[in-house]
């Protein structure tokens, strides 16, 4: 019996060790997939030359020449692109989060005609990419004279973020007990007071997720600004940095890498500010239909 018991313990221990080894192996592969391109980009930005093929991951004669050029050279519009992107990102994040919260609150707490069809419409809109509506959006912005403006770009970002995020936030609102609303109504609170003083504070985790995702979008998106924006002074970072790797700027990949690395600063800052809410928001959203 003792031998059988020891054998079972050894088998369980071996199985546990294999599972731990498998987990570490997966983490190592993920780290290589994520870390290797990042290290190459950092190393590329520190190479003194401009060519991609002659660059090294760990350059011997590294320098901050490209970073200095981005901020000091009169030919560089990098600071303008950075400012434009921050304006679009902040406005999109704030307006999207507030609009999504209002829409989700209405669908979660009220019963009105067309509510079910509205939810179905949100689900269907998530199935189609925004690119399918690019022609219509282009014509619409051109009609209202918002083409080649940051305002038009913000409006598109806010509008396209509503279907998916509203459905996500509605699921979170559904987990908040209705008794809180009823107690507030007995104390004389109106709809907006309940929304601002009860629902929004309790929904901080999921709203933080929505705010972060919508803040990141203008930094990463290239296609939509490419279609809407025409003037270099209105470019966002993704669109402006593209000029560093096309024929106009002689394929300056090292300068492109330097500009791309600096994109991480505002995103990392917002992530750190919202970090305590993100885990709860990601795990609690859409838990109830």
Return the pLDDT at 17.
75
Q: What are the b/e assignments for 263-278, b being 16+ CB within 10 Å?
A: beebeeebeeebeebb
Q: At what angle do helices 78-109 and 204-220 cross, to 10 degrees?
A: 140
Q: Is the distance from CB of 134 to CB of 227 less than 8 angstroms?
A: yes
Cα dihedral: 19, 21, 23, 25 (round 10): -140
Quote the pTM value.
0.81
Return the pLDDT at 158.
93
Return the pLDDT at 286.
41
Q: Is the distance from CB of 85 to CB of 236 less than 8 angstroms?
A: yes
Return the pLDDT at 243.
78
List the chain residues with pLDDT less than 70.
1-11, 14, 50-56, 247-251, 279-289
Q: With 0-12 CB in 10 A as exposed, 13-18 as middle and 19+ as buried, what is 158? A: buried
For residues 76 and 89, give the distance between their C-alpha atoms in angstroms, rounded to a whole number.
Answer: 21
- Checking 250-256 for CB contacts under 8 A at 24+ apart, the result is 250/50, 251/50, 251/51, 251/52, 252/50, 253/44, 253/50, 253/51, 253/52, 253/55, 254/44, 254/45, 254/47, 254/48, 254/49, 254/50, 254/51, 254/52, 254/55, 254/66, 255/50, 255/66, 255/69, 255/70
- How remote is the C-alpha of 83 from its chain's centroid? 18
- How remote is the C-alpha of 24 from its chain's centroid? 28
Domains of the chain: 2-66 (no CATH), 77-250+263-284 (1.10.3720.10)
Both structure tokens of 35: 């870390």
Return the pLDDT at 285.
45
Return the pLDDT at 111.
82
For residues 215 and 93, give the distance between their C-alpha atoms in angstroms, rounded to a whole number.
Answer: 5
Return the pLDDT at 15.
72
Q: At what angle do helices 2-46 and 253-262 cross, to 10 degrees?
A: 120
Question: What are 169-189's pLDDT values in tens digits?
Answer: 888 888 888 888 888 888 787
Return the pLDDT at 280.
63
**Residue count (the chain):** 289
Q: With 0-12 CB in 10 A as exposed, 13-18 as middle and 19+ as buried, what is 105? A: buried
């Amino acid at each position: 019996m003792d031998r059988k018991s020891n054998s079972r313990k050894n088998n369980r221990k071996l199985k546990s060790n294999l599972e731990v080894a498998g987990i570490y192996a997966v983490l190592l592969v993920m780290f290589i997939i994520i870390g290797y391109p990042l290290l190459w980009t950092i190393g590329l930005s520190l190479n003194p030359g401009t060519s991609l093929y002659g660059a090294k991951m760990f350059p011997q004669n590294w320098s901050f020449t490209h970073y200095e050029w981005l901020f000091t050279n009169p030919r560089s519009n990098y600071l303008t692109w950075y400012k434009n992107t921050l304006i679009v990102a902040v406005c999109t994040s704030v307006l999207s989060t507030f609009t999504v919260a209002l829409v989700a609150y209405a669908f979660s707490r009220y019963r009105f005609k067309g509510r079910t069809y509205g939810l179905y419409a949100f689900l269907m809109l998530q199935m189609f990419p925004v690119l399918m509506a690019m022609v219509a959006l282009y014509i619409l912005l051109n009609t209202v004279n918002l083409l080649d403006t940051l305002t038009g770009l913000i409006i598109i970002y806010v509008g396209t973020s509503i279907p998916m995020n509203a459905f996500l936030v509605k699921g979170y609102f559904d987990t908040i007990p209705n008794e809180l609303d009823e107690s507030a109504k007995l104390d004389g609170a109106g709809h907006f007071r309940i929304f601002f003083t009860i629902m929004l504070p309790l929904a901080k985790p999921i709203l933080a997720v929505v705010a972060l995702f919508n803040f990141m979008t203008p930094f990463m998106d290239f296609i939509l600004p490419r279609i809407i924006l025409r003037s270099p002074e209105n470019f966002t970072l993704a669109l402006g940095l593209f000029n560093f790797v096309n024929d106009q700027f002689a394929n300056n990949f090292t300068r492109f890498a330097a500009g791309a690395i600096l994109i991480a600063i505002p995103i990392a800052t917002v992530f750190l500010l919202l970090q305590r809410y993100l885990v709860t928001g990601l795990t609690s959203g859409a838990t109830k239909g």
